[in-house]
Amino acid sequence: MVTIKLKGVNPVRDSRTGEMRYYAWRGKGAPRLRGEPGSAEFMTSYNEAMTNRRPEDAGTIRGLITQYKASEDYKGLADSTRRQKIRWLDAIIAYFGKLPISAFDQHRIKPILRRWRDMYRDTPRTADYGVQVLSALLSFAVNEGKLRANPCIGLKQLYESDRADIVWSDSDLTRMTEAAPDWLARMILLAVSTGLRRGDLLKLCWSHIGTDEIEIRTGKSRERIKALIPLHDELRDVLATIPKRGPNVLTYDDSKRPVTKDGFTSAWRRTWANAGMGDVDLHFNDLRGTAITHLYLASLTNREIAEIVGWTEDSVDKIIRRYVGRTAAVRDRIERINKIKKGTDFAK
């Protein structure tokens, strides 16, 4: 039997019986399909469901979401991002699904958006992410000529987090690396020397390392953007301590097995506890911020930093504001001003 993959079919496993059920699409009101996937009965019920689907959905938010899911904008997202977004798209359908798209072109929609956001006020970061997903959907509508403007723009975030001054000190790094197994200690030092995300470090291979730089396509960009990391002395020293046991740079101690995400997570938690870091507000992701702080203090340009960490040049200013420690930046400016003043007639 030839199985045809049908667009939009939503498989759901019954938690009590374990039976797999299939629905014509996701969301409330989706009809259950009859028969087994690939059978004539299944195909007939699918075609009936699509034929009977309300044509008025085309001009509603429900219909807009269907178009968005079929767009290159949505297909180009990482799998993990799509999994996160789809839950919110279902929530948007439940609340706004029947509204016409044109309703979002009216100024009166903003209070309604705030009320929807405030339903999740108890978890502000979650609420802000929901608004982010809705904003992406409405931006798609603007690009498609269905809206004149995105009403989510200007909607204040509930969660305010500035980790700009949260960077790893030398003593923090020492505590963690001394308590960590060798492979994790090397991973920590690689993170602070390269600015690479955890996922990119786990897939880093020796083949990515050239004579003068590391060149790797970043997972966050679905491998569309390259990070180009110069092999400075500190990074060369870290790489020199890593034994070459296989194609991957990071392998478990005395093993050719590449380090996995789950292996990292469990080892990180144990090491964090053993190092007595429970009262420290630091995360592995902050190693990336620490690396960017070092690059900024080394007087690299925004464009150079963007190329190194694998971001676009247009967003590098935002990166600097988010990741560069304010205290470190101010001290660096003081040093540069003092050097300039010492070389002027005024200083003399």
Dihedral angle, C-alpha 141, 144, 145, 148, nearest 10 °: 30
User: Of the spans 46-55, 159-168, 179-188, 320-329, which averages the highest pLDDT?
Assistant: 179-188
DSSP E strands, 202-273: 213-217, 226-230
Average pLDDT estimate for 245-255: 92
Q: Is the pLDDT of residue 233 over 50?
A: yes
Residue 1 is predicted with a pLDDT of 44
Contact 92, 61 (CB under 8 A): yes
pLDDT > 70 fraction of the chain, expressed in percent and rounded:
83
User: Residue 313, Cα to own-chain centre: how many angstroms?
Assistant: 18
Residue 165 is predicted with a pLDDT of 56
Strand-pair partners of 100: 60
Residue 173 is predicted with a pLDDT of 92
Q: Is the pLDDT of residue 348 over 50?
A: no
- pTM to 2 decimals? 0.54
How many CB atoms within 10 Å of residue 189?
22
Tell me the average pLDDT of the chain.
83
Q: Is the pLDDT of residue 244 over 70?
A: yes
pLDDT tens, residue by residue, 12-61: 888 788 888 888 877 766 788 888 887 888 888 888 777 666 655 678 99
C-alpha 318/C-alpha 51 separation (Å) is 47
Q: Is the pLDDT of residue 340 over 80?
A: no
C-alpha 257/C-alpha 11 separation (Å) is 35
**How many CA atoms, within 13 angstroms, populate the side-chain half-sphere of residue 244?**
7
Residue 94 is predicted with a pLDDT of 92
Both structure tokens of 110: 């903003």
User: Of the spans 37-46, 93-102, 218-227, which averages the highest pLDDT?
Assistant: 93-102
For the ranges 86-90, 191-195, 257-261, 332-336, the lowest mean pLDDT is seen at: 332-336
How many CB atoms within 10 Å of residue 320?
18
User: Of the spans 105-114, 246-255, 285-294, which averages the highest pLDDT?
Assistant: 246-255
C-alpha 213/C-alpha 228 separation (Å) is 6
